[in-house]
Amino acid sequence: MGKGKWEFFKGSKENWFSEPLYNWMDLSQVPEAPGLREHCTADRIRQALAPWSDLFLIKLEYFPEGTYQEKGSPRLTNVQSFYMATLEHRISDLHTAEMKILFPVRWNGRFMGIAGAGSNLSTPWDKEQTVNLTTWPMAIRNGFACALNDGGTGPFVDSGWGFAKDGDLEWDLMENWAHKGTHLMTQMAKAVVEAVYGRPIYKSYMHGTSGGGRQAVVEAVRYPQDYDGLWADGPLYDYYDLMFALLWAPVVIHNEAHHVSVEKYKAANVLARMEDFTATEPYSLTSPNWQRFLASLPGTKTKDGPITEEDLKVMIRMWNGPVLLDGSPITYGFGPEITQWPVGPRKFGYLKVHDDGSLSIIPFALQFIRWLTRDPDYDINQCSYEEFDRIYRENKKEFADYFFYDADLRAFALRGGKLIITHGTGDHVVPNQITRDYYKKARAYFASDKYLADTMRIFMSKRTGHALFDWSGPNVKNSSAWPALMAWVEKGQAPESLQTLEYNFIDDCVIRQDQVDYYKGE
């Protein structure tokens, strides 16, 4: 479809979440919730908060339709009337978090938990239109009561938190981020919502992407009673091992005596994505297809000269992913078809080379290695293979609570919970093989694939990058996944396929629309 066919953002960039991609419920026939204006009071909310001694109501505000505005953000001219309760959560003597509960006047009877990203429990609602998120304005527009929690680290993806003044780690903040904060927000907010509206919540949902996807999966496993339907997109589960995959590139560059230019990696990326098999077959050094491809690379011309045999040896070490000194793999790497280096009009790849030759990496991976080393200034660009091995081995037991890779969904299944996981095969932050393995891990707890499919369904869109709509391939969209998940939860209609979208946000036009069937294992 060409420019102008969808009219996606034209004339409405300030309120982009009102467009078709983000809307799935018609509220035109939904009346005002009876009694809400009388019952949404500070006293009633404080009474509902009584079981939680560490939660305090700070203020309660009412925003008529089209009046909400935050400093530095556009006014939300197309959001229905709602109440907003702001709470303080005292995590410890040193740290507090801000939570918000939002009560739409026209309520669809459901609750939605709003997730974060990276190593933060919330994200700015007005900055992420190209990312596959469900923000609180989207929830309000679709009639959901909802809640969000900044976790004590703020609403931005700031990966500098975690260090106490005495040099130790802020374990209270870290545990709150890992699982406690999301669970507390959910349990508290659901109780308050029911008290204010005067009736039980019909169903509860959460959608999280990346670090928010991790929140959704952790909720299903550790707190199966919290939500009826969960959608995790590109989830950062297997967090401990995954961080070492994201840290591997600068370690290889530092340790190898032979330098390979970015142009040569880009050339290999272009060639790999031209191969038909790269859309469906994960990179593996032992695969005949990939062996053939790798053997074809030496001699390839680039702006920095041809790819040499020595180049290829280093590139393969990078692509194969992190290994220990004895050669045992930690987790998967990112093969040549994965776009880690900045390419295309948005230059989105997270590996960026500085003038001094050092490499910048994704912030939350840098944060994690600094947690492990207890050094807020640790430079991964100076890490030897020996030190990399030592850091991994010495900290694995202490940080066992940060694996997030438990796939025991039996309790979630018994209460009728439904989990959708969406993941692009071109994900440059979470290797798609991790989700394939998660399927196998979950399958071990169920009597058959059919029983697992009654609880969890995975949708893997071809070549799609990490949680984005606009540069790598079509991603599953809100207006498809949400109706599918709700029909599964509320009517027992399991989704066989989901619609996907790739969009050009610069020219406001659809690049491609497609659909993806659910993954049934290999």
Residue 351: closest CA among 362, 336, 363:
362
Q: Are residues 417 and 321 in the same domain?
A: no
Q: Are residues 373 and 269 in the same domain?
A: yes
Q: What is the pLDDT of residue 13?
A: 58
Q: How confident is the model at residue 465 (pLDDT cuts 50, 70, 90)?
A: confident
* 7 assigned to some structural domain: no
Mean local confidence (pLDDT), 219-226: 98
Mean local confidence (pLDDT), 388-414: 95
Query: Rounded CA gap, 270 and 235, in Å?
Result: 26
Q: Please determine, for residue 2, whether its predicted confidence score (pLDDT) is greater than 70.
A: no
Whether the Cβ atoms of residue 476 and residue 422 lie closer than 8 Å to each other: yes
Q: What is the pLDDT of residue 504?
A: 76
Which residues have a Cβ under 8 Å from the Cβ of 502 and sit 6 or more positions away?
A: 469, 470, 472, 473, 474, 475, 510, 511, 512, 513
Q: Are residues 326 and 281 in the same domain?
A: yes
Give percent above pLDDT 90 in the chain.
70
Q: Please determine, for residue 264, whether its predicted confidence score (pLDDT) is greater than 70.
A: yes
* 420 assigned to some structural domain: yes
pLDDT in tens, 132-183: 889 999 999 999 999 999 999 876 656 778 888 777 899 999 999 999 999 9
* 6 assigned to some structural domain: no
* 4 assigned to some structural domain: no
Q: Are residues 215 and 226 in the same domain?
A: yes
Q: Are residues 280 and 347 in the same domain?
A: yes
Query: Rounded CA gap, 118 and 234, in Å?
Result: 11
Mean local confidence (pLDDT), 346-365: 77
How many separate domains does the chain show? Answer: 2
Mean local confidence (pLDDT), 182-205: 98
* 2 assigned to some structural domain: no
Q: Are residues 82 and 189 in the same domain?
A: yes
Q: Are residues 280 and 355 in the same domain?
A: yes
* 5 assigned to some structural domain: no
Query: Rounded CA gap, 62 and 40, in Å?
Result: 10
Q: Are residues 47 and 188 in the same domain?
A: yes
Q: Are residues 272 and 128 in the same domain?
A: no
Query: Rounded CA gap, 465 and 307, in Å?
Result: 26
Q: Are residues 224 and 326 in the same domain?
A: no
* 1 assigned to some structural domain: no
Q: What is the pLDDT of residue 81?
A: 97
Query: Which structural domain, as residue segments, surrounds residue 481?
Result: 13-238+404-519
Q: Are residues 74 and 182 in the same domain?
A: yes
pLDDT in tens, 43-76: 999 999 999 999 999 999 999 999 999 888 888 9
- Which residue blocks in 281-420 are alpha helix, DSSP H? 288-296, 309-320, 363-373, 385-395, 410-414
Q: What is the pLDDT of residue 343?
A: 60
Query: Rounded CA gap, 518 and 128, in Å?
Result: 27
Instruction: Choose between 78 and 34: higher pLDDT.
Output: 34
Q: How confident is the model at residue 344 (pLDDT cuts 50, 70, 90)?
A: low
Q: Please determine, for residue 3, whether its predicted confidence score (pLDDT) is greater than 50.
A: no
The dihedral region occupied by 223, where left means phi > 0, alpha psi between -120 and 50, and beta the remainder, is beta
Mean local confidence (pLDDT), 207-216: 95
Q: Please determine, for residue 4, whether its predicted confidence score (pLDDT) is greater than 50.
A: no
pTM, full prediction: 0.94
Q: Are residues 81 and 70 in the same domain?
A: yes
Query: Rounded CA gap, 148 and 210, in Å?
Result: 16
Query: Rounded CA gap, 267 and 503, in Å?
Result: 25
